[in-house]
Structure 1
């Protein structure tokens, strides 16, 4: 069963690349007391994710901040080194926080896993966006199949 609006995010631990190397970050560390625009992608460096999804949130970062969003967070079922490299190559910098869900624990806990084994990708995350306020889901936009519509930066901005 998938998480829904009004639900509290489950406890999970991400990994984040820092100047001191990989560091664990719990959902409490990331979401408590803040308004977060979170988006998830099936894979770093994949075509739609790299060409449209991540760049959209980077480009619209100031608009999100202007509407009360404290941080923008991207997560994917990739290891911390891949997420760090993807963020660097996309010039995400401090604009979008790149959190690795390497074992898919968060994707599984929120019920938004994607079975990509038919494409040789294993278990991944579905493509979605959500607005999270103090750890509680305020908006949730899950894509149907391979679409890229409701999880975009523009769509989430329209909900603020």
Structure 2
């Protein structure tokens, strides 16, 4: 699957700007992981911290960048990333309208839990705008999208 050209707020080093996702990923090998929501328990206690902790290990495996996507606005994403020591090393994608989440068919209806529509937890290895591998969690699980698991998958 090829990444389509979405224009979304991307947070890099604490600065948010609307950019082309396709241009952002061109000629790069990146990790894209998605979370149900900034400041939610598993996302905040395990998912994002795992990628921050293993960031240098990913770079040593020739990964050009790590991006976290959530159905949140850019202000929430920026605040969440910057609430961590070294959180600015992870780039944020604020998919506030869930356009990218819908494109990947990863929209999850959490309205029964009063959480609206969210992104399913996932991780992807993307090279030059092409999805090489994708790992999608079942609801309530956290394993195949973890930083530790994804690091093991990189060749």
Same fold, TM exceeding 0.5? yes
- Contact preservation (8 Å) 2:14, 2:82: no
Check whether the contact 1:132–1:138 (CA below 8 A) recurs between aligned residues. Answer: yes
Unaligned 5+ residue runs, structure 2? Answer: none
Among 94, 104, 109, the alignment partner of 1:100 is 94
User: Is residue 2:73 matched to residue 1:69?
Assistant: no
Q: In structure 1, how many angstroms separate the alpha carbons of the residues matched to 2:133 and 2:15? A: 32
Paired positions, count: 154
Aligned positions of 1:28-107 closer than 5 A: 28-107=22-101
Partner in structure 1 of residue 111 of structure 2: 117
Q: For 2:146 and 2:35, locate their aligned partners in 1 and report how far apart those are by CA, in whole Å.
A: 11
Native 8 Å contact 1:9 1:110 kept in 2: no
Among 8, 13, 17, the alignment partner of 2:7 is 13
**TM-aligned CA distance change 1:18 to 1:10, over 3 Å:** closer
Q: Distance in 1 between matches of 2:146 and 2:102?
A: 22
How far apart are the structure 1 equivalents of 2:71 and 2:100? Answer: 9
1:126 aligns with 2:120: yes
TM-score by length of 1: 0.91
RMSD over aligned Cα, in angstroms? 1.6
TM-score (normalised: structure 2): 0.93
